[in-house]
Each structure stands twice: as structure tokens, then as C-alpha cells.
Chain A
Amino acid sequence: MHVFPAFEFYACGDHGFTLDFGQQIDININGFVIHLFHQLQKNRRSYILDIIPAYSSITVVYNPLSFTKCNTNPESVIHEYFTNAILQTENIQATASVDIIRIPVCYHPSLAPDLEPVCKYHNIDIDTLVTLHTQKTYRVFMNGFLPGFAYMGTVDDRIATARHSNPRKKVAAGSLGIAGNQAGIYPFESPGGWQLIGRTSVSLFDLHSDNPCLLKPGDQVQFYSIPIESFQS
């Protein structure tokens, strides 16, 4: 694997520490983040409340009171916890192959209010947009914003579109949106500013499962087009 990238280690208040690889959205960097995440999870410590991977950073949330009895310094303990995980990550030879999660999407103006405006903006027809959007495999870089919401990339430059400056008050559950080169699906009805180009009836978040999210950091996703007749809301 590549040389471990440069990073900064800093406090996130009095109950968190972040390892940050800088301001970049990069598949290799994100790969390191996700390897680190799995290493940290595997060696989880009792003082850890959460481990949160993002595009190019990973944050550990800890309970400061866990350190009061033994009178140790959380910073040095957590720094060591990260260092051990980094050493483990360096030993990983290649990225494990992951299954591709295939998601049916109905690209139809009646379900996707921004489909026609986005096509018009790029001066293409709907079929071309669908081809450009479905021929790629997307990587889940991180979860955030809403439970089960996955930030995926990267959307082809020929259809990439900036988000709305005024977010919608209501976006339907299952809406597939793009924001710049990012793609994402709203697991629930919520406010949102992404350009809505399709909709899926696949459930992204199952409240009754111990493993509630369909999409997790590091997953590979491909979309395929279904006709409106096959769409069940």
C-alpha cells in the first residue's frame, strides 16, 4: 500500500480527538480512513463512545471521566491508540474486494423535480443523464447528515451540478440527489438542497434491524434504471 499520508492530530473539545489528513476528497485517503476505522473498532477501548470516519479524517469521542481514576492523560492514551491502528493499517497489503450494492432508481420527472432542469442546464437529454449516472460505480466516503445518509462519489463532471442555494423544505424519502460531484439518497423525508434526479423504493435505513444502514463507509454502489411502471413507492 502507499506511504501513510501526512496528518494532523488535534483535540475536538474536551471529549474528542481527530486525526485529519487535510482538505481533500480522495479515494486513497478515504481508504486509509476506513482501514483505520476498522482497526480502531477491532481494538475498541472502554473509554470510547464513538469512532466517526469522514472524507479525510477520523474522530474518536471519549468519556473524559474514564481517565480520572487512573490519572492518565487522555491525549497520550488516545494518541497511542491511533498510532497502533496506523501501524496495523500499514501492514494491509491490498484493499479487500467489496461487493457492489445495486440500487434500482426511477429517473422520471414526476418523481425527481430537478431531473429536467439538470438536463437542460447541461444541455443533454434524460437518457444521456441516466447513462452517465448509471455507468459508474460510486464509493461511499462517509455517513452523516441523517441516519443512514451516505455521501457517495464521484459523479461524472458532465452531470455534476451545484446544490440549490435555497434548500427545499421537504425532500421525499428515497430521493436520489447530486451536489457537485457527490451523490446521496435521502433515507427519510427531510429538508435538503441537493439536485433530485431520481428516486428509489429501496429502504436505506431499517429501524428494526441491529444493522440499520444499507450503505456504509467503503461500500461500492451502482445505480440501475427502472421504468416508472416498476416503481413502488
Chain B
Amino acid sequence: MSIRIIKKGLLDTIQDRGRYGYQHLGINPTGVMDFVSMRLANALAGNEEQEPVIEMHWPAPVIRFETDTCFAISGAAVIARIDQQTEIPVNRTVFVKAGSQLSFEKKLSGARIYLAVQNGFNLTPWLNSNSTHLQLNHGGHHLTTGAVVEFNKALSHTISITKFYPWYIQSPIDLSDSTIHFTRGKEWGLLDETMKELFKQNIYQISNESNRMGYRLNGTPVYLQHSTELISTAVTKGTIQLLPNGQPLVLLADHQTTGGYPRIGHVISADVPKLAQFETGQSIRFKEITIEEAHQRLKNLDLYLKQTEIACKLRMADL
């Protein structure tokens, strides 16, 4: 009743929505980079939305299902196969028999792939979360070759051949639109009008120094009217810090809890999953909206995901 990593990928970890409630101790929340794809994978696997999943990067791992399994993959658009034959579509519910081997052949777009298995993984939470804390190498599970992750529960029926449910779901993440929405940060007002305009007009390229801690961006440098050093305050997921070299750094899942760089803006919560699916070398543009609009966008996204979750539940109950 488990999966086994036959060959590890670039970075494969167990993640959930994050370890909240401990940032006052310097313990950063970590968690999935793209909560949208996590929820889609869970919905398709018949799980509750917060069930821990495996987050994978490219190159992706080779995984063997040691038991009959119902699973789903979501996130990056990939060509995946079972036993190097049957192609496994993303955003579909898949059933495979024990001994099946999942490998990823090609990635078309996106940066992160999520795998959910029905009934979830059997894990030992640390401080109420199963997210892998990479810096501490604790909590969740940083998966390497040979790693085994147990399931909570076996399927109620046996599987003899690879099959899919006859429906798929559409991810609300649209990577063809490179707009990332932001709200103003505390130090936004320290930019003069020209610099504000430049920040909004810039086409920012995602630097190869980007990772789960944050995305470093490269564009025409933007400077404050007077360079300033701030004493440390809390920073959160999505905070856009302006580095002394005039380039922005967007903080993501593994960000530190506090920081002292000027906070010129914050990527809205609804756009963090999309940003997390853009890869090194790709370009994005920022567009300013109000906090009310940001909340509306998050609400709409949540509604779409809730409807998808309900639809999946009803369909599965029908079968």
C-alpha cells in the first residue's frame, strides 16, 4: 500500500497548504507553490482539498505504484506514461494496477506537477502540517530514489488494467496571459511617478536564481527616490521586495518570515499559483489592482475550485 520513487526528480516533496501559526518563532510556512493544482489533483483523486500531495519539478521522478491505486496529476502540462506505454492525461482520474510505473516523458508548459492519491498518504505531521521544510529537512518528506510513501487506505476494489474516468477538468490557470496582478506595498510611495510607471511597463524575466523561496526578476532597474534601509518587519507570500540592484524579488512558499528590503507591492493570492507555474526565462508583467479586487479574484477562484470539487464528488458517487 505505497508508492516507491524508482528515480528521483529535480525536487520532489510532500506538501500541504503550509505550516501556519509558527511564524513568530521564525518557522516559515512552506507548503505547495500552486494551491490551485493541488486542489484539482485532490478533487480528481476523490480527496478533501487539504490532503497532502507530492510536488514535483522537471526533470520529474519515476514512480512505481506498489499497490492498485487511484490517482491524478495536475499542474504543468506534461506527457506522462504508465510502463512507458499508456499515456496518462493531466487533470483526469486514473486507475492503475500494482506494479505500474509512472514516468514523465515531456513537459509542454508549467513548472510544477502535483500528484494526489486516493485516501492520501500516511504521514507524521510536524507542528500540524505535512509540508516538507527543506531548510530543516524535517516535516513532510523530501523524496529521493528508493523512498517509499505509504497510503492511508487501500482501494475498495482491484484494478486489472490502466483506465481513466471519462471526464477531465479544466485548470483555471491560464499561462498564455503573462499578467500578474499586485497591490501596493508600504514603500510603493517611495518610488517617483516615472519609476512607478517603469515598474508597471517593465517586461520582467524570471531569473535562473529563482526557487521555492522566491522569484528574482530581471527588467530595467527601478530605484527608490532615496535609497533606504528598513528595520526588519514581517513579509508574506507574494511580497515584492525591491533589491538594492533595482530588481524585484517576489517571495514564495519557502520565504523567510521577516525582511528589511523595501516592499513595493504584493502579488495577489489568486495569482501566486499562476506565477509559480511560470518557469525560469519566461516573462511576466505586473498590473496594479485594489485589495477589494484582489479579494474578489480569490473568491471567484475559490468558487470555481469548489464547484469542481463538488462536480468530481457527484460524478464519483454516480459510478
Contact = CB atoms under 8 A, between A and B. Distances in A.
Interface of A: 10-16, 18, 20, 23-25, 37, 49-59, 61, 64-65, 67-68, 74-75, 142-149, 151, 188, 190, 207, 210, 212-213, 216-217
Contact of A210 (B20, B127, B231): B127
Contacts of B138: 207
Contact of A212 (B25, B231, B291): B25
A145 B24 contact: no
A145 B135 CA distance: 12
B24 A10 contact: no
Nearest to A74: B295
Contact of B234 (A59, A207, A212): A59
Contacts of A24: 231
A12 B24 CA distance: 16
A13 B235 CA distance: 10
From DSSP, what is the main secondary structure of chain A's interface residues?
Answer: mixed
A148 B25 contact: yes
Contacts of A23: 230-231
Contacts of B232: 54-55, 142, 144, 151
A55 B268 CA distance: 26
Interface of B: 20-29, 126-127, 133, 135-136, 138, 183, 185-186, 230-239, 256-258, 263, 266-269, 291, 294-295, 298-299, 302
26 contacts: A12-B185, A12-B236, A13-B185, A13-B269, A15-B237, A15-B269, A18-B234, A20-B186, A37-B24, A49-B20, A49-B29, A52-B23, A52-B24, A52-B257, A53-B24, A55-B232, A59-B234, A64-B298, A67-B295, A142-B232, A144-B258, A147-B28, A148-B27, A151-B232, A212-B25, A213-B26
A78 to B, nearest CB: 12
Given A24-B231, A68-B299, A207-B126, A14 B258 contact: no
Contact of B257 (A10, A25, A143, A216): A143
Contacts, number: 142
A11 B233 CA distance: 13
B233 A18 contact: yes
Given A51-B23, A144-B256, A217-B24, 4 more contacts: A53-B24, A142-B258, A212-B27, A213-B25
A13 B183 contact: yes
Nearest to A146: B26
Contact of B266 (A14, A49, A212): A14
Nearest to B251: A13
Contacts of B234: 12, 16, 18, 52, 54, 57-59, 61
Given A144-B257, A207-B136, A50 B24 contact: yes
Given A10-B186, A65-B298, A16 B26 contact: no
B183 A11 contact: yes
A54 B233 contact: yes
A51 B122 CA distance: 30
A68 B237 CA distance: 20
A23 B266 CA distance: 21
A18 B186 contact: yes
Contacts of A58: 234
Contacts of B126: 207
A144 B267 CA distance: 22
Contacts of B135: 146-147, 188, 190
Query: Which of A13, A52, A64, A190 has the most chain B CB atoms closer than 10 A to its own CB?
Result: A13
A158 B87 CA distance: 69
Given A55-B231, A147-B136, A207-B138, A14 B268 contact: yes
Contacts of A212: 25, 27, 127
A149 B257 CA distance: 11
Nearest to B238: A13
Contacts of B238: 13, 15
A64 B298 CA distance: 8
A138 B250 CA distance: 34
Nearest to A151: B232
A15 B236 contact: yes
A57 B29 CA distance: 20
Nearest to A14: B294
5 pairs of A and B residues whose beta carbons are closest in the complex: A13-B266, A144-B258, A59-B234, A14-B294, A52-B234
A178 B21 CA distance: 29
A208 B190 CA distance: 44
A68 B306 CA distance: 14
Contact of A145 (B23, B26, B183, B231): B26
A56 B231 contact: yes
B28 A25 contact: no
A112 to B, nearest CB: 23
